[in-house]
Amino acid sequence: MQITRNVNPSGRGRAEWFTGDVYTDVVASQVGDWRMRAALVRFTPGARTAWHTHPRGQTIWIMEGVGLCQREGGPIEVLRQGDRVFFEPDENHWHGAAPDRFMTHLAMHEADETGSVADWGRHVTDEEYSQPPVER
């Protein structure tokens, strides 16, 4: 049994992986054969990930606010509290907050044999981000 106390400050999302201000807290880290990692990610308005893929896929669960996500070749989709999204392994995508709203999600993903959970690409441009989203 391993208890990890809530003593670490929230991390700042790395500038090469995110646009805007993003704060992260570890929920589950890799230990031994346990490969699932999870993070609480708080996006300020307009903040979003860069384009990226996950070797084993990823589920995000929207906890608060209004978010956006997009897979390569698809429209931008609106996300609200309680929505969840599964990104297929190696599906290129991004996720983040709406332009005028905060968004917090729980992100869950499994590491591959090399310990990688994500492969990062270029930033989402303002032009890409400002395309009108669909809501269904």
Residues forming contacts to Mn ion in the complex (CB under 5 A) are 58
- Joined together, the tokens standing for residue 34 give 């346990």
Those residues whose C-beta lies under 8 Å from the C-beta of residue 39, and which sit 6 or more positions away, are 24, 25, 26, 27, 106, 107
Nearer to Mn ion by C-beta: 17 or 102?
17
Which CB sits closer to Mn ion, 24 or 58?
A: 58
CB of 7 to Mn ion, least distance (A): 27
**Residue 127: CB partners within 8 Å, gap ≥ 6?**
none
Q: Residue type at 15?
A: A
Using CB atoms, what's the residue nearest to Mn ion? 58
Q: Which is nearer to Mn ion, 32 or 73 (CB)?
A: 73
Task: Provide, rounded to whole angstroms, the least separation between the CB of residue 26 and Mn ion.
Answer: 16
